[in-house]
Structure 1
């Protein structure tokens, strides 16, 4: 259920005069209150300008959903099984389906402020009792700075904090550019576009943007980014957002907690040298021993067990309760991993450490955490229930751009910290009893067992890239997904449920839709490569035509999904209303085809960003593959996770490299 979106963003980044590079704000003066420093952007249009006029997520017709479902399930079934499923779907279409559709549409018409999928989707995440790392929290790793001196852990961390706060202040003051997908940036990513849409009535602003082939996106999830934490509770967690803006961030070092003030008493971001000084002060405590019972590990455990332990922890002492309040309300979490380094020749240990690691220096419940290693290698790990990849990737891209092009902290910046400011750095202490200590040990042992069974494989291919795809008029994403199907077919001799996430952020409170990349078209191609005798194989020209058909189908499905015309979320919503009204669950959901379709052995998520080094998440089923991938102008790459003794991720990567080679030859041979 990982949901990095298909949209590319062409956001306007602020530009600053060269004098910023001369430490204009690196003194302890009121100069840090200057709006140029306080805000990352000063948008002509308010951040939430398009929210009131965003269209509502459509509810597809029962007929279309049944038709799309049958087409998607057909490649996974033998003829007899497919005929049985056809009968089940036909009965659903004329019996319980219309009844559930009416209830769903009635509920939707009474909740026009949101989408039909929003509440049940939040509920699905918050009710799951599985641990957050691997199962839910995704990871995106940021490229290092090309200037080695800026990869110092202190310099890198301070710059990320400053730029993150500028992003936060811009969002809070609605100075952050509205999220817009620009189909033609030269026409719409302009001041003229902004001036025209600004004078349009708010009720139709989105439709004015459409005239420029610009598509505003939902920004409701941004409210869950800062001052927020997922609180474990029995049966169902809740998302806590501090009712008052916080002045501090949570900093973790060797499993120890620090509340570090980064906003002054007037609500202004502290100057860069003050933030530098406070992080430096925390790093000076790196020789403080790791606690014997690091409670951060508890956030990596079963949610019900953690809920009971957390409740007990806060009742032990007022000290514990106050520490938890500071953790929960912190703007975000900064994890300083002083011993973590990146090896360009073998990125797997770093990806595994940042995806889950030993859990000691982590608080997985925070809305998002920034990790910074010894050599400045940075990453973002985010809790998934509050939002999808749209806002996190936007944040990720903008922060990277600023810290690499116009950072506020430099190697010659003087850190500022004096004795009177020590109160701005508070060490958070906890009183532990035997019950908590036992809980930490049990969670640590459980986590270690899971981590030891988690395998990660990695591949990078310079031959499959956007240039090659463009030259052959095929979708880059379609080619990567086709390679996944071919790789699996070659290795395991069959086709399985495959999940690709697509954002529905073009609609108010849209979340995601599933795009099903395993199609009749991909099956025809893969069978032509693998399932035929040598003398029956098609020519390269014939195979290229099959690839083009795969791409055309992929584009069609992607467009349908992005426009709210997939079938997965609709079927999910219909089942949800049946459960709400204690109605009998239709046979369609008990049918083996539905179980096969939704047992996502191949779960994929695409990450398109110039700032991205790698992205990863865990398999969504025990014997599955979790594939984070990207395709750039000069290469493609994938990180594949699997569990020991289940699906062989390393063998899959080997087969994937072979699939890439075969597709490359077909596309290059004219």
Structure 2
């Protein structure tokens, strides 16, 4: 249709009077605006990439270099290390001669070369500066060491140069490769709490054979890769952990996040969807312009983090393949894809001249909600393909959605900015009825299997009564970036924009654009393929149990009085809960980030340690005193914090072993050690949702406004068939939320029972503190 309209915009006709030219002025203007927008975007992107690549230098420093070389040239002094006479003699002389113009061009070109070389030296120095990690191991509450003070002073000075989103990317250090001995020793110690003496002795023997034998050869290959790549593990991690996995990504990979708990700004579904869609597009604009701060994770210490993942947040989609998927990122998207009552729509968000206002988006959403549509069965369920087996989806995509209107509609979804889901049911949080939040979390995690496009980078999900949630595909990035994005748009929605007294988006539409319904023509074989995926997805959904807990009896405020890390405190509580629930210790996964390094993603903190198991046993031993338990708690928390810091600093165990295992598979080596330990089975998989990444935006908010923005965080499905998945967020001084998942088919797990045991453990931990307080 667009091609036909473009052709009709300008036409020629030969008549007796000559050549007659007719044109549609308005359409030509629209074409010009589209061209102009693309030109401006590409020019702006080039400019921003150049500025980010030359940070912390700028135009002023270039002018200083030019001025210095010019002034000294007048006095017959050469600051260019011979570059000016070389360029003048061998290049400029033959074109412009030896006059003023030639000399000026020589100085200008030489200054550019010197400036560029100085930038490289400066950025190498910055990389060396950022390689310092001593600040990570500074004890809280104790005086900061002199090296860390100097280091922080330099970083503070550099931050004054107004860095852009990607300013530090080229200066971030590469992820360090741990020594083989160090990793094997750490792995062995992490297995001690879950193995008996005989099993541990066997693992010791295999570990020593691996260390002295094939492990050294694998380490040499991995060392070579670490020298030749920005990050020795990330590309393999994304390929083998995500893109090569053939099982459904719904529940198994995708994760979700919830709306605010204490604030429900409007019950108007279209208005809430419009405001948050508009806010999301504003965040996309910030990313495009590189105006998101690279300090977003740690604003107080001004430590830069890798920002690679932000580039894959918008206009992106995972595309299925028979053996391996790929991740598609489009340069631009002027629409979002919308699903409602079994139909897919294309909603324009940019008219070629400007982003549409929230009230103009609300008009389009209202037209969709009010519409009377009768979708076919295949049309209603087509998105179930994204919830099923990946190989089956890849074959069905090529066979049944690869041509005609199906291909056009498929591309409209995959190449959209993101997906908006307008659900037909209401959801809410009821402090007196935990099942309501359980249901809401389940809806966000998997929905009905066919009402989410699980391949998209994210789906914004809006309930009938105006609540919000998000479902996120995992291969492109991790929860920290999603949490930052969600926190930002919620501040924009609730605090900055708001709604009128009728619950509508603010303002009046300047333009009313009708949404376009996407058409499908799916044959019977295609419908059968959809039903195969739907059956697989429904079986997965029926086997998943979600239980949530919003704990308000105490929070971060009380934990800090114990002088332990809140995260370590929660991890010890989870260890206690798991031991009481299962009667044993198991390998525990806690995600930590490695974004202090270029292209860093995550590392595993093995939270079940010798120290944590000693503490848990003391809590279960009635003969132990509170003082003994408290001492063991401090030891366990200190060890946990040490492991967490090691993981963030590239000294973890799991990613190193994973990379060695990939090389072992490539070389087809035999390794009884890997046969024994790989892949590791984490029966307790945990993750903390980061908070307060928008300090700049929230700086002027009162305590009451901040309470309005408290969320329950997000969660994920069970990682192991017989294990638990637990996500948590320490949302305030008196609020901690937990998301617990497990499989109903497992005889040894129950999310509801774990939640009950978790409440008991939290009260026991609080009693430990309160009793200590009384004796002080």
Could you say which TM-score interval applies, normalised by the shorter chain?
Answer: 0.7 to 0.9
1:637 and 2:719 correspond:
no
SS at match of 2:652: coil
The equivalent residue for 2:688 is 606
Are 2:426 and 2:465, in contact at CA under 8 Å, matched by a contact in 1? yes
How far is the alpha carbon of 1:227 from its aligned partner?
A: 1.1
Partners of 2:358 and 2:518 lie apart in 1 by: 24
| Runs of 4 or more consecutive aligned structure 1 residues displaced over 6 Å after TM superposition | none
> Which of 177, 183, 188 is matched with 1:59 structurally?
177
Question: 2: CA distance between counterparts of 1:409 and 1:360?
Answer: 31
Conserved? CA contact 1:255–1:296, under 8 Å: no
* Contact 1:276–1:409 (Cα < 8 Å) also in 2: no
Shift of 1:459: 2.1
Distance across 2 between alignment mates of 1:147 and 1:321: 39
Give 1:296's match in structure 2, choosing from 383, 388, 397: 383
Give CA deviations for 1:220-272 in whole Å, capped at 9, x if unaligned: 11111111110111011111112x31111111112211111101213x31233
Structure 2 residue 586 is the aligned partner of structure 1 residue 586: no
Show the counterpart of 1:391: 481
Q: 1:438 to 1:417 in 2, by over 3 A?
A: farther
- Mapping 1:189-338, distance limit 5 Å: 213-242=301-330, 244-266=331-353, 268-285=354-371, 287-293=372-378, 294-315=381-402, 317-338=403-424
- Residues of 2 paired with 1:560 and 1:390: CA distance? 19
Report the secondary structure of 1:613's partner residue.
coil
Q: CA offsets per residue over residues 546-571 of structure 1, 9 Å max, x none?
A: 11111101110110001111010001
The change in CA–CA distance for 1:145 and 1:464 in structure 2 (over 3 A counts) is closer
1:298, distance to aligned residue in structure 2 (A): 1.1
Deviations 1:78-112 (A, max 9, x none): 0111111111111211221221111111112122x
Residue-by-residue CA offset, 1:560-587 (whole Å, 9 max, x unaligned): 001111010001011112222x231422
Contact conserved, 1:152 with 1:376, CA < 8 A, in 2? yes
Equivalent pair of 2:386/2:453 in contact (CA under 8 Å): yes
SS at match of 1:249: strand
Q: Does 1:438 align with 2:528?
A: yes
**After the TM superposition, which residues 463-612 of structure 1 pair with which residues of structure 2 at under 5 Å, given as runs?**
463-530=553-620, 532=621, 534=622, 537-580=623-666, 582-591=667-676, 594-595=677-678, 598-609=680-691, 611-612=710-711
Kindly report which structure 2 residues correspond to 1:384-423, keeping only aligned pairs within 5 A, or say none: 384-407=474-497, 410=500, 411=503, 413=506, 416=509, 421-422=513-514
Please give the alpha-carbon distance, in whole angstroms, between the structure 1 residues aligned to 2:401 and 2:383. Answer: 14
After superposition, give the CA deviation of every residue in 1:415-465 in whole Å (9 maximum; x if it has no partner).
Answer: 53867x33xx22111111111111222222222222122111222333342
Report the counterpart of residue 27 of structure 2 in structure 1.
none
The DSSP-based 3-state class of the residue aligned with 1:668 is helix
Cα–Cα, structure 1 residues 283 and 416, in superposed 2: closer, same or farther, change >3 Å?
Answer: farther
Contact between 1:369 and 1:381, CA under 8 Å: does it hold in 2? yes
SS in 2 for 1:58: coil
Aligned 1:57-136 pairs, distance under 5 A: 57-111=175-229, 114-124=230-240, 125-136=242-253
**2:277 is aligned with 1:161:** yes
SS of the equivalent of 1:214 reads coil
Bigger share in helix:
2
Counterpart Cα distance in 2 of 1:147 and 1:490: 37
State the Cα deviation string for residues 1-36 of structure 1 (Å, max 9, x = none): xxxxxxxxxxxxxxxxxxxxxxxxxxxxx9xx9x9x
Which ranges in structure 2 are unaligned for 5 or more consecutive residues? 1-32, 45-160, 692-708
Instruction: Give TM-score scaled by structure 2 length.
Output: 0.73
3-state DSSP class of the match of 1:74?
A: helix
CA deviation after TM superposition for structure 1 residue 275, in Å: 1.9
Question: SS of the residue aligned with 2:612?
Answer: helix
Partner SS, residue 381 of structure 1: strand
d(CA) in 2 for partners of 1:62, 1:538:
39
Q: What displacement does 1:477 show?
A: 1.1
- Highest Rg: 1 or 2? 2
- Count of paired positions: 586
Deviation of 1:180 after TM superposition, in Å, equals 4.1
Q: Quote the residue 1:140 is aligned against.
A: 257
Aligned to 2:497, the other structure's residue is in SS state: coil
1:13 paired residue number: none
Q: 2:705 aligned with 1:617, yes or no? A: no
- 5+ long unaligned stretches in structure 1: 1-29, 186-212
Q: CA deviation at 1:607?
A: 1.3
Counterpart in the other structure of 1:15: none
1:374 maps to 464
Q: State yes or no: 1:658 paired with 2:740.
A: no
Aligned to 1:22: none
CA contact (8 A) 2:385 2:530 kept: yes
Q: Does 1:170 align with 2:252?
A: no
Distance 1:104 1:585 in 2: 17
- 1:24 — aligned with what? none
Q: Deviations over 1:467-521 (max 9, x none)?
A: 1211010111112111111112112211111111000011100010000110101
Checking the alignment, whether the CA contact within 8 Å between 2:261 and 2:429 is kept in structure 1 is: no
Higher relative contact order (CA 8 A, sep 6+): 1
Kindly indicate whether the alpha-carbon contact (under 8 Å) linking 1:162 and 1:408 is maintained by their aligned counterparts in 2. Answer: no
Q: What's the RMSD between the two structures over aligned residues? A: 2.1
For 2:714 and 2:484, the matched residues in 1 are separated by 15
Q: 1:649 aligns to what?
A: 751
Say which SS state the counterpart of residue 143 (structure 1) adopts.
coil
- CA spacing shift, 1:48–1:519, aligned 2, 3 Å: same
